[in-house]
A = this chain, B = another copy of it.
Amino acid sequence: MLTEKLSEITEKRLIEYIKEHGLKAGERLPNESDLSKLLGVGRGTIREAVRMLAGRNVLDVRHGSGTFVAADKIGVGDDPLGFTFIDDKKQLTFDLMEIRMMIEPRIASMAALMADEEQIAEIKALAKAVEMQIHNDVNHINTDILFHSKIAESTGNLVIPNLMPIIQQAIVMFINVTDRDLKQETIETHRAIVDSIEARDPIGASDAMMLHLIYNRNRIKKIFADQ
């Protein structure tokens, strides 16, 4: 119990070390032996704390080359909201969709007000890429997530770009998307979202996003009803 507490304290002190020393994504930490001296705890405790931080995607342990600050989305682990452990995947999929319906129309509005020219160009390019993939009968799901993520990023909100992809990726994981229907609806509603953001029209962007989400929610309902 005492040792466990020590590893948790060490976890916090390692985070402080990273922040105090301004270590950036991908930068290397001192080795185990040096960390042990620096923090005044045994190497075993350092190893435990480092592993716990690897589980949280704060650190990345590469055998033979050392321990590094995670390169991407530091502190946001694999499945941070514990979806793996929710057994009712149908209900989970609907409930995630419900969260999208709460936040994405307003996200689209914010993007219409806040996106800079470069972001608008990227949003347009991603919408185009999705269209191309649909026309070529290539799975567009990941590009689709990038499209929505770029809109989320354009709001300037610091949390939403971490949150949205988790929610979207989870929905994709849990539904059967092999048929990838809704092709025409996706193209049209994506275009309406892009046009409204470009026209700096927050109400139009919100409406277009809402329509897009309703199509998607109804598709999910139908897929589950048919199973």
- Please report A residues at the B interface, Cβ cutoff 8 Å: 1-4, 11, 15, 19, 47-48, 51-58, 61-64, 73-86, 88, 91-92, 95-96, 98-99, 102-103, 106, 157-160, 162-163, 167
Enumerate chain B residues within 8 angstroms of A83, measured Cβ to Cβ.
75, 159
Our pick among B2, B56, B106 for the contact of A56 (Cβ within 8 Å) is B56
Q: Is B76 a contact partner of A81 (Cβ separation < 8 A)? A: yes
Q: Is B4 a contact partner of A63 (Cβ separation < 8 A)? A: yes
Task: For A166, give the chain B residue with the smallest CB separation.
Answer: B81
Our pick among B73, B86, B167 for the contact of A158 (Cβ within 8 Å) is B86
A128 to chain B, nearest CB (A): 28
Enumerate chain B residues within 8 angstroms of A15, measured Cβ to Cβ.
84
Enumerate chain B residues within 8 angstroms of A74, measured Cβ to Cβ.
82, 85
Task: For A60, give the chain B residue with the smallest CB separation.
Answer: B4
Enumerate chain B residues within 8 angstroms of A58, measured Cβ to Cβ.
85
| Cα(A74)–Cα(B19), bound, Å | 27
> Copy number of this protein in the oligomer?
2
Q: Is B88 a contact partner of A84 (Cβ separation < 8 A)? A: no
Task: For A44, give the chain B residue with the smallest CB separation.
Answer: B47
| Cα(A80)–Cα(B61), bound, Å | 19
Given contact pairs A1-B64, A75-B85, A92-B158, enumerate 7 new A-B contacts (beta carbons under 8 Å).
Answer: A4-B62, A15-B84, A56-B56, A75-B82, A82-B162, A99-B103, A102-B103
| Cα(A73)–Cα(B86), bound, Å | 11
Task: For A50, give the chain B residue with the smallest CB separation.
Answer: B51
Enumerate chain B residues within 8 angstroms of A98, measured Cβ to Cβ.
157
Our pick among B55, B61, B81 for the contact of A159 (Cβ within 8 Å) is B81
| A–B Cβ pairs within 8 angstroms, 8 of them | A52-B54, A74-B82, A76-B82, A77-B77, A81-B159, A86-B158, A92-B158, A95-B158
Q: Is A81 a contact partner of B163 (Cβ separation < 8 A)? A: yes
Q: Is B106 a contact partner of A77 (Cβ separation < 8 A)? A: no
A77 to chain B, nearest CB (A): 6
Enumerate chain B residues within 8 angstroms of A55, measured Cβ to Cβ.
11, 51-56, 77
